[in-house]
Amino acid sequence: MKKQWVILMVLATLSLPVQAQYVISSEEELENLKSLPQEKVYLHHTGPIVFTGEYLHYAFYCFNAQNNRASNISFVGYVALVNPQGEYVLEQKVRLQKGKSQGDFFVNTHVPSGNYKLLGYTQWMKNNGMEQVFKDDLVIINPYQIDQSQLLPDNLEEKAIIGEKLSQPVDSSVVQIKLEQEIYGTREKVVVNLKNYKAQLGHGNYTLRAQKKSEMLVFPSINAISYANKYFNVKGELDKTVGDSLFLPEQRGELLYGRVTNGQGIPVSDAKMVVSVPGEEFLLKFATTDSHGNFYTYLRKNYKLGRAIVQVAENAQNVEVSLGKVPHLDASQLIFDQFHIKPEYSEAIAQRSIHNQLENQFYSVKPDSILLGTPIDPFDGGMPETINLADFTRFPTFQETLVEVLNYAGYRNNPDGSDYIRIAQDFETYNEKANDFPAIVLFDGVYVPDHEKIKDFDARQIQSISLVRDQFRMAGKDYQGMMAVKTIEGDFFENYAPEYGINVPIEKPMPKKNYYKQRYTTEQMGKRIPDYRRVLLWEPHVEVGDDTDLQFEFYTSDLTGEFEVVLDGFTTYGKPITVYKTIVVKEASQ
């Protein structure tokens, strides 16, 4: 018997209200939920001061709050920027692998100067409130705006900064930074050696960076040791009782959910829903609405397009589909450190702004690159037969093309409704019962429920047609084969308006990057491309294992002054490690 490909949306037995929060109904449920450990997050970043025109880079660490080991619970993490009014200025999503990820965001001219909070969390953490969430102060200076009142002191005598807050704790007893020298010239190579003196006790994951010290007096960013002390007593289990609502953990992927109602706003239960994430490497997910009309699914694969087409799998009347959004935690009660601009900072601010403009002007010659990740197999292991229409005589319509070009697929008359496409079974290879099931049909990754509506599609816009002749079972219904049509422009989804569904943008996770590494050879030394990098080295996650000596290198820029080389992270056992080394960069001729 031929193998049946089964595509199922595994629904939990939870009832999901429109806010994607579940109400705990019994003591047994509560105990099951509490058996899942809570999490906590640490962000190492390139603050604490960021200017308009700069990137803030961050390394994301997620821990099991009960044992301080890397968490394997959440598949997704979040980074947010919050202003003193409690407004979320930015929120990014990152995919976690063994509790780790990385990302960055560019500060554009729309972000006003001010004191901000940088937050790091998972949806599961939000159940214990803002106390569980990682919080660090961040200063943004936008020199292009006239109003700088948010960073000006209320009176001429600025409050003194507490001295002990200007330094952070260090621990170099396990892993140390070794440098060949302390003074370097501009555009000179620096070799950094990491020495693990404690063998297995030093194994872990660390962030390594080299960055120019701030010319302005500012509270330093939280490091791994101060974080471990500050968040040592966060809750290790869910802090809820029976009757409370909670945010569901994103264990199986990114949560995508919504609701289906009829024309009178009444929930529609047991509706078969299909979610298409379009593109050449498309995703196809299915779900069934519960008694409240809610559906949800999880996106686990690394999709390329931030768009979803959500529609009823079969024709329905007077149905409305909406996509839900998980609410933010209330950030209005956060307390912000106060950084103030002083007159003596004016020259440093002007110079840094000029350097940023020059760096951005030459960004194209030293760009970061996005890691492609594992390719998606949209056929889930099926071996498609692909027909490129450029190899055949062109026919005007899609229906005629199926008749004249394809041997195994075509329209079949349906006396009870719309005609449908059927892909012939492969009786030569497999022994199976004959069926009349319709095919799954997708255009540029968009699921098309009504095949009759694409009969007259202009076939001159089609590049190729791929067929899989396996049987599929999706959301309780059988299908015979899958057909994936690829248009020349690949943009079918842009103008597709489902009759009973929605075509909406979705926030996709930040892609991982290989960050540009400046190198100078003898020939390049004389090139007059300006180099005003403040961050000279950024390695978001460095694994320290059995090798007792790891080596990294970077080149200084045209900036002079003091730079800090920082190693910051955690051993496999959860011990925080932070090491600082200062180097001085002088003009090369000196």
CA distance 454 to 443: 10
CA distances from 206 to 47, 48, 228 (A): 17, 19, 14
- For the chain, residues with pLDDT lower than 70 are 1-21, 155-166, 315-316, 369-382, 522-527, 589-590
Q: Cβ(205)–Cβ(541) under 8 Å?
A: yes
In a domain, 408, yes or no: yes
In a domain, 167, yes or no: yes
Strands 501-505 and 307-312: antiparallel
In a domain, 16, yes or no: yes
Task: Say if residue 333 is in the same domain as residue 393.
Answer: no
In a domain, 380, yes or no: no
Task: Say if residue 17 is in the same domain as residue 50.
Answer: no
Strands of the sheet containing 307-312, edge to edge, are 283-288, 272-277, 307-312, 501-505
**Domain tally for the chain?**
3
Q: Which residues of 413-445 are buried (b: 16+ CB within 10 A; e: fewer)?
A: eeeeeebbbbbebeeeeeeeeeeebbbbbbbbb
Task: Say if residue 69 is in the same domain as residue 167.
Answer: yes
- 455, 474, 502 - which closes a domain: 502
Task: Say if residue 281 is in the same domain as residue 343.
Answer: no
- 502, 524, 551 - which closes a domain: 502
Task: Say if residue 438 is in the same domain as residue 311.
Answer: no
Task: Say if residue 214 is in the same domain as residue 123.
Answer: yes
pLDDT at residue 225 in the model = 97
Task: Say if residue 192 is in the same domain as residue 286.
Answer: no
CATH number for the domain harbouring residue 451 = 2.170.130
- 502, 526, 552 - which closes a domain: 502
Task: Say if residue 79 is in the same domain as residue 56.
Answer: yes
Task: Say if residue 201 is in the same domain as residue 176.
Answer: yes
CA distance 478 to 472: 6
Task: Say if residue 345 is in the same domain as residue 271.
Answer: no
Give me 276's structure tokens: 């298409």
In a domain, 521, yes or no: yes
Task: Say if residue 534 is in the same domain as residue 564.
Answer: yes
pLDDT at residue 19 in the model = 44
Q: Cβ(582)–Cβ(545) under 8 Å?
A: no
Report pLDDT digits (tens) over 510-561.
Answer: 988 889 899 998 665 556 789 999 999 999 999 998 877 899 999 999 999 9
In a domain, 117, yes or no: yes
3-class DSSP assignment, residue 101: strand
Give me 282's structure tokens: 């498309």
Task: Say if residue 27 is in the same domain as residue 153.
Answer: no
Q: Which residues contact 472 (CB under 8 A, 6 or more apart)?
A: 4, 5, 6, 7, 440, 478, 479, 480, 481, 482
Q: Cβ(302)–Cβ(373) under 8 Å?
A: yes
In a domain, 509, yes or no: no
Report pLDDT digits (tens) over 261-277.
Answer: 998 899 999 999 999 99
In a domain, 245, yes or no: no
CATH number for the domain harbouring residue 48 = 2.60.40.730
Domain interval for residue 315: 4-34+256-323
pLDDT at residue 381 in the model = 65
